[in-house]
Chain A
Amino acid sequence: MKVYHQTGFRYKWNIESFLNGVGNGLIYSPINIDADKLLALDVKLKHSGFLDPQLYLLYEAKGTLDTYPYFPGNIKPDFATPDLDNSHIQLAQLCVDYQVQNNFEYLIIPSRYYTDNPTTFFSQSTDYFVTPFCDYIRNKNIQKKILLSVIVKTIMLSDEEKRNEVLNWITGHQNIEGVYLILENNFTSKQIKDFDYLLNALKFIKVLKDNQMEVHLGYSNTEALLYSIAMPDSVTIGSYENLRSFGIKRFQDMEKSQMRAPNARLYSSYLLQWVDYEYIQAMKKLMPDYANYFDDSEYRPLMFTPEFKWHFAKSEPYKHYFYVFDRQIKSLPSTQEGRIEELKCKIKNALTLFKKIENEVLLDENSDGSHLPTWFNVINAFQKELTK
């Protein structure tokens, strides 16, 4: 299973980390990197990776998105939805050409985003994106694998009719090799603790794998570990929370809205949890062996010095996470059965460690591993599904 860097704001951290041997490639984010700058990047940063075209909202020119030739506003000023009728072929050509110019590993067919998908969503997506993209790629005889971007809304996991509709649509395209799958996350907690959601997500991925499709899971957080038991082809590592959880806000111009700075957090592969630095400080005072609860990396010595000023904008905790999580994913057994057993074992170990910590330090629900019992139960339920 591969690990891609989901890049965004401060994508240089990802590039540095990748050049340091972490991850298999990068997924580029047009709102954060100028089109020409991306073209000028060294090929070795692009041949194993791909572009997320980010046409989720056709009219929002957030960040550097409008520097891309295929951005609708560059095709026609004041571009509106009806313009897609006349411009979809041109848009597909420009978008494919740009991706080919960069020589990415995969070609990506974009997806639009709606809060509530209209009833014509799938037929329109086929007409405006899938068909013109595939036709152009075939006519130009471009020999690259094609991935279809799909945003999976919560209702597509919970509602049988919606789930059937989206799965029939995805698997109905004969010319694509796989999907760039994005599970929309509307949960307010930092970790997903919804049993049904997680189990349905696993089942969804499994259907696609049963259809022999490549599944590349975008915007993954630590749930990537759990999703790994459905055998996807890749998961992602991202720095800020909005790169580890898909929300449309990231693509909207919110200049006037107030952003709250999050507390810095550190990931532990032993605890399967990001832990708020304030608790790490408390552990430091109260638990002599506190460092053993966290992984070693080239960044750890610095972070654990008394002088280190924890701040969400510092690179070390993220680079540490990239390194640790990439290694953790790569160390997973290659078989489904092996992964399931190993993950169950890791969860039990993590729960034991949390018990020890909470003898000394009480943690809140975003640092205390309270998602782990749900993970364990979901794994058991999924395991049962596999034997049906």
Chain B
Amino acid sequence: MKKFFALLLALAMVLSLAACGGSDAPAAEAPKADAPAAEAPKADAPAAAPAAYKDELNVAITANPPTLDVHFSNSNIVGGIGSHIYEPLFAMNQENVPTPVLAESYEVSEDGTVYTIKIRQGVKFHNGQELTADDVVPSMENWLVKSSKATPIAGTTFAKVDDYTITATLPEAYSGALDIMAGNVQFAAIYPKSALDAAGEAGITEFVGTGPYKLAEWKQDQFIHLTKFEEYQQPAGESSGFTGHKEAATPDIYFRVVTDETTRVAGVQTGEYDITEGISLEQYEALTTDPSLTLYTKTGGTLNLFFNTTKGIMAKEEMRDAIMACLNCDDIMMASYINPGLYSLNQGWMNPASATWGSQNSEHYNQNDPAKAKELLAAAGYAGEKILLVTTPDYPAMYNATLVVHAQLVAAGINAEVEQYDFATFMEHRANPDQFSLYITSNSYNILPVTLSVLNPGWAGLDAAEVPAGIAAIKAAATTEEAAAEWQALEEFLYDYGAASVLGHYSDVSATAAGVEGFNYFNFPIYWNVKVPA
């Protein structure tokens, strides 16, 4: 029998050896040995020695991006990573003002329809080719067709004037054209013509841009490795949002795909990852007291309820008004975002902080009036028809909000039912008015109201003539103030008509390990200028 115990002892030793394979090394990956920046300061080094930084930044992301073609996908992960690889002609600075990036300057014709854009000279793509108008024109044409965010300037034609000059000719004058071209979601990245020529059905497959980082390796479902682009040509100006100086302060960035929330958080706590996106809201409160972490919150968008406005009982405006009267938005947002510090109540579809597009609450929003709902139900001739709420547990905030809305509708006497599906099936259902009465989604902020999904008839089937008329009025406005007034009128119509309702505004949470420098959580997390002490 002694042999058995000897065997067990051997096992314990093997496991201990495996467990202690790195002896007392930290769980985080050690910086490369040959990298001078990662060298530990010597004990007798002078006190004024420059701080040493890691040469590798590990960022935990929530999912593997479906593509790295930013024209094609409106996924935040695609845009977030893509903004490090590609650059547009114009982008938003920290104040959300369109600012030249690959463009050097631009002029607008007197009638406001022709933009003549000068392109910076000497800018190189990651494949060594120089950026010219021959790349810019097909890129902008591709973006115009592929990006849903380009819809407001549909019909624009792009033409080469010379190697470093192009024109963009709009079908009609639109003061927001530059904002559209500088938008950050599905942004107007400039690709080399060769990448566009080789593109397939699902977009480009050669992920080459002019950004401060180039793609080194994409190991599917594991990591995306970006490395410093040594020939990067800095845009003019100080670093601000997506514009100005972009220093690849950490030479290598690994975006590691970590789908499990607990693993992401544990990874930052142990130093395995330097930064994690998508912090679990349930854990937010507990993590605020963790000295090993720095938390960043950023108002990111709106949680919205969309009605079927075309089929069955939901086609009656009184029915939709009755449901709006039931809503207690505070309860809904609390169930979805858990901490009152992570949401705010405002009926506006745009960022409330925007002086131009922000809104004040009206009587339509957050009514919490079941008695009024019952009156409106009677007026609608409601006879207990099933009201179908479709949702997906893949997005907990959307799912929790749907359950609370369901409870509020049932309390008002509505025969409401929840159907839950995985994300892909949910998307299929919400695209078909025969398969939903209402659904809830969270949507990132838009730079301009004309690009909001709620105004797109393909989103929830809203086909009221007032919507395209309102969009046209915003686009035709001579001044920003006029455009803002037109938007306020259109937003009020959306509530009057019962097309949809904002439920509240949410914040995204990210965490970095304590000591991470230069992190900017703008519209996407920005990792150029980020340094991590070794």
Do they bind each other? no
**What is the interface of chain A, defined by CB distance below 8 A to chain B?**
none
**What is the interface of chain B, defined by CB distance below 8 A to chain A?**
none
